[in-house]
Chains A and B, each alone.
Chain A
Amino acid sequence: MVKAGNWRTRLYLSIMFRVTGRAIQAAGRRDPELREIFAALPPGFSFRLSVWPDGPELNIETDSSTLPRYGGSKGASDPSLHMEITSPAHAMALFTFAESTTMSAARGRLVTRGDLSHACTMVRVLDRVETYLLPRPIARRAVKRYESPQKKHRMRLAVWLGIIFSRGGSRS
């Protein structure tokens, strides 16, 4: 078990946050369902996921074409929606996929500032992205109901290429 607050936790989480952020950007621009979800959000929507007290954070903003852009640890000073994980240990449970986002929220480990219906949307986005990011057996632990997306392999490849070659968040 990785102890909360030590350097390995920090390193692991910062890598996972970067991967997840870039994956949201890549998948959100290619997957028709995710594009639809992002299009339904209000214009100029910004989202931040962070770990309290001083853990990594990821910022997503939708641009004028309603496509998501990953901004690394730089984002709006007051994002439309801010979800904060209440401790590094809980973030580890979430990002080692021992606990789903929903369970984390149900256990009061996700503090959400902003419209809760947008929080629902972002949980759906995270779940969807995880099905692209993770092999099926692990993704099944992270989401309530695993549904294999259409053209999964092609999308998965595109998402991973997006993660590797995207410059989004490299400033962080």
Chain B
Amino acid sequence: MTAHRNFYRFTSPLLTVAGHDALEELPGLLRSLDMLHPLILTDPGVRRAGLMDMVSAILKSQEDIIGDTWFDQIPPDSDTDIIAQAAQVYREKGCTGLLAVGGGSVIDTTKGVRILVSLGGEHLRDYQGADTISSQLVPMAAVPTTSGTGSEATLVAVIKDARNKRKLAFTSPSLIPSAAILDSRMTLTLPPAITAATGMDALAHAVEAYTGLGRNPISDSYALKAIELIVSTLPEVIEHPDNQEARLQMAVASHLAGSAFSNSMVGIVHTLGHCVGARCGIPHGICMSILLPYGMTYNLHRCRERFGKLLQVLSGKSVYLETSEDKRPEGAVAAVKALASRLHMLTDGAHPLRLRDILDRSGHPIMKPQHIPVIASDALGDPSHLYNPEEVSLDELISVLRAAYWGYPLDKDLVKLGHQK
């Protein structure tokens, strides 16, 4: 990184509190954010895991805080109707802020509620777009219960329109939560397969943030640190799920990666991942894990030096120094593949390595080869490819998907090389 003459903007106005008992800070945080009566949003899974009991216990002992206004019926594929219902509860109960306790879906839903209760109106779709939400929104705190989406740190919310099932995308610095609490106890009960998939999601955020067009020196730094933490921690946390130290590191890494991509945006891996997920209902983290090495290979020629630098954090300094400069970019791709393979092994095959290996309950691949052209065509309408360093076309997206589906290497000759450095 030399001094950047080019313009950049870095926004991350949120307060991050992290620790093994960070949740104990919640009452103080709610007071400082002036949200003594939060609407607490969560999903049934979080409730079942007993995580809400912890939040309840902490808030119960606070006389000045009303901590029993809940909305706990957020489904995994939340939509605008759910948001309208939650907004209704917020208004009826006279809440003064929002507290999200959950994974990406809960936090994104809460962001949607935040828009509605702050700006009024009935239809969330009226506010969709980039940078359009400019007003100060009601305060929001987030307690993530997975380490992957990083949604507690981002300016993005993606919400399904209940009317036509299309995804509505919102990006605005105003959407970044006011505070995030990363507590290692929140992710302790996550099963290994989900830990692996969400961890690879965070890795994909960091890698794409580091190589995307919107990158800047601060997002670079966040991304590199995130990758270093993920690589050194993810296998450990799968082998020893109750290692609290490792759980906390993963939470912090995912948070860093979220903040990085919130500023630089993502690229082709997410473009394809969103569309595979939407068409076939495959979990986002798994799509990311499978597609990441292919997306990297696709972009490799556009910023070889940057991909080379990734080897240093992916494989450690000694491997980096031993590898000749021209081999480092490919080394970085191989390191990501090796990490995915290791996760595959550690989870006894539950973490898949090819798209065709994701099976439904009857043992058949969820995604079929005939899905490929449809998904590629969907992908051209996904805004994230705008920020990908290389241009994408339908043919190329099909090639990448085919390779990721069958698990063979991506033929670089099929990628038309762009000219701009």
Chain A residues with CB under 8 Å of chain B are: 100, 102-103, 105-108, 110-117, 119-121, 123, 140-141, 143-147
The reply to whether B383 and A116 contact each other, CB–CB distance below 8 Å, is yes
The reply to whether B129 and A111 contact each other, CB–CB distance below 8 Å, is yes
The reply to whether B383 and A144 contact each other, CB–CB distance below 8 Å, is no
Contacts of A112 in B (CB 8 A): 129-132
The reply to whether B132 and A106 contact each other, CB–CB distance below 8 Å, is no
The reply to whether B416 and A147 contact each other, CB–CB distance below 8 Å, is yes
Contacts of B385 in A (CB 8 A): 120
Residues of B in contact (CB 8 Å), total 32
The reply to whether B419 and A123 contact each other, CB–CB distance below 8 Å, is no
B148 in the interface, Cβ–Cβ < 8 Å? no
Q: Knowing A114-B128, A144-B391 touch, does A103 contact B383 (C-beta < 8 A)?
A: no
Which residue on A lies nearest to B380, using beta carbons? Answer: A120
Residue A117 contacts which of B382, B390, B420 (CB distance < 8 angstroms)?
Answer: B382
The reply to whether A103 and B132 contact each other, CB–CB distance below 8 Å, is no
Task: Pick the most buried of B9, B214, B380, B420: most chain A CB atoms within 10 A of its CB.
Answer: B420
The reply to whether A145 and B169 contact each other, CB–CB distance below 8 Å, is no
CB neighbors of A among B291-325 (8 A): none
Output the least CB separation between B9 and chain A (Å).
5
The reply to whether A105 and B391 contact each other, CB–CB distance below 8 Å, is no
Main secondary structure of the interface of B (DSSP, over half): loop
Whole-angstrom distance between the alpha carbons of A111 and B417 in the complex?
29
Contacts of A100 in B (CB 8 A): 420
Output the least CB separation between B56 and chain A (Å).
38
Output the least CB separation between B373 and chain A (Å).
15
Whole-angstrom distance between the alpha carbons of A164 and B112 in the complex?
47
The reply to whether A107 and B214 contact each other, CB–CB distance below 8 Å, is yes
The reply to whether B386 and A102 contact each other, CB–CB distance below 8 Å, is yes
The reply to whether A107 and B383 contact each other, CB–CB distance below 8 Å, is no
B387 in the interface, Cβ–Cβ < 8 Å? yes
Whole-angstrom distance between the alpha carbons of A112 and B170 in the complex?
10
B8 in the interface, Cβ–Cβ < 8 Å? yes
Q: Knowing A106-B265, A140-B419, A144-B390 touch, does A113 contact B132 (C-beta < 8 A)?
A: yes
Contacts of B420 in A (CB 8 A): 100, 140-141, 143-145
Which residue on B lies nearest to A111, using beta carbons? Answer: B131
29 contacts between A and B (CB under 8 A): A102-B213, A102-B386, A102-B387, A103-B213, A106-B213, A106-B214, A106-B265, A107-B9, A108-B9, A108-B131, A110-B130, A110-B131, A111-B130, A112-B129, A115-B168, A116-B128, A116-B171, A117-B381, A119-B129, A120-B380, A140-B419, A143-B420, A144-B389, A144-B418, A144-B420, A145-B390, A145-B391, A145-B418, A146-B419
CB neighbors of A among B161-210 (8 A): 166, 168-169, 171
Return the 8 tightest CB-CB contacts between A and B, nearest first: A106-B214, A145-B418, A145-B391, A117-B381, A116-B383, A112-B130, A144-B391, A113-B129
Which residue on A lies nearest to B215, using beta carbons? Answer: A106
Q: Knowing A117-B383, A120-B385, A120-B386 touch, does A107 contact B132 (C-beta < 8 A)?
A: no
Residue A116 contacts which of B169, B380, B390 (CB distance < 8 angstroms)?
Answer: B169
Task: Pick the most buried of A106, A113, A117, A147: most chain B CB atoms within 10 A of its CB.
Answer: A106
Whole-angstrom distance between the alpha carbons of A101 and B302 in the complex?
18
Contacts of A119 in B (CB 8 A): 129-130, 383, 386
Q: Knowing A102-B387, A107-B9, A117-B381 touch, does A145 contact B132 (C-beta < 8 A)?
A: no
The reply to whether B131 and A120 contact each other, CB–CB distance below 8 Å, is no
Q: Knowing A116-B169, A144-B420, A145-B416 touch, does A106 contact B129 (C-beta < 8 A)?
A: no
Residue A106 contacts which of B381, B386, B390, B417 (CB distance < 8 angstroms)?
Answer: B386
Contacts of A108 in B (CB 8 A): 9, 131
Encoded as 1 (CB less than 8 Å from any A CB) or 0, chain B from 130 to 171 comes to: 111000000000000000000000000000000000101101
Other A-B pairs beyond A112-B129, A116-B169, 11, CB < 8 Å: A102-B213, A102-B386, A102-B387, A105-B130, A106-B213, A106-B387, A114-B129, A119-B129, A120-B380, A145-B416, A146-B419
